[in-house]
Amino acid sequence: MAMVQLTFTEPGQAATVEQLIENARCGDREAFAELYANHVRQARRYARRLVLDDHLAEELVAEAFARTWQQLAAGGGPRVAFMGYLRAVVLRLHVNRLRADRRLRWVADIEDAALANPDLAARILEESPEHLVLEALFNQRMREALATLPERWQRVLVMVYVENLPYQDVADELGLSVGGARQLGLRARRGMRKALTDLADQVAAAA
C-alpha cells in the first residue's frame, strides 16, 4: 500500500496551489474544497463564455470539478496549473456535448476547405460560429498548420478562438496591453493563413 505524503504549511501561512493539488491527490478533501473555492468563479465565467447559458455553465463546471477530483484521486490530474487544467476539462466536456447533440456533424468539411481554399479556411477561423472554430482547431490538418506557428501565436489563437476569451483576458494572460494582444492576434491570423496556404501547396505537390 502506497504511503500518503501530505504537505504541511506553517501556522498562519496559506498553502500554495501546488501544495493544495498534491494534498488533494493524497485524498485531502479539504484541500480540494479550497481549490474549488479559489477557482470556481473563474471557471463559471469561462463556461458562460462558451455556452452563453448559466444553467448549462453550472453543469459543465460541476462535472469538470468532479472529473478533476477523480483524476487527482487516481494519481493523475494537474501538477501546477490548476485553472488551465480545469478550463481544458470544461472545454472538452463542451465539445463532447456539441458532438453528442450532432451540432458538429457538418464541420468535417473544414479539412477539405483548408486544402481547397486556404483563404476561406482562415476566414472561417476568424469569423465562424464558435462550434465551427472549435472543431476546426481540433481538425488534424488545422492542428498541423497551427503547430508551425510561434508559441505565442498559437496561444493567442487558442485563447481567442477556442477558449473564447475576450482580449482583456488574453492581454492579462500574456502580459500585454489590450491593443498589443489584438495586434498579436492579427499577426497570428496572418501566420495561420500562410501556414494553411503552405500546407495546401505541399499536399498539391505530393498529389
Domains detected in the chain: 17-100 (1.10.1740.10), 107-206 (1.20.140.160)
Whether pLDDT at 112 is above 60: no
Q: What is the pLDDT of residue 206?
A: 60
> Are 126 and 162 contacting, i.e. CB atoms less than 8 angstroms apart?
no
Q: How far apart are CA 35 and CA 177, in angstroms?
A: 29
Q: For residues 31 and 194, which has the higher predicted lDDT (pLDDT)?
A: 31
Q: What is the pLDDT of residue 174?
A: 85
Tally helices (H) and strands (E) across the chain: 11, 0
Listed in sequence order, the DSSP H helices in 5-128 are 17-25, 29-51, 54-73, 82-100, 110-116, 118-127
Q: What is the pLDDT of residue 95?
A: 75
Q: How far apart are CA 78 and CA 25, in angstroms?
A: 9
Mean pLDDT calculated for residue range 137-152: 74
Which of 26-40, 66-80, 93-107, 140-154 shows the lowest per-residue confidence on average (mean pLDDT)?
93-107
**pTM of the predicted model as reported, rounded to 2 decimal places:** 0.50
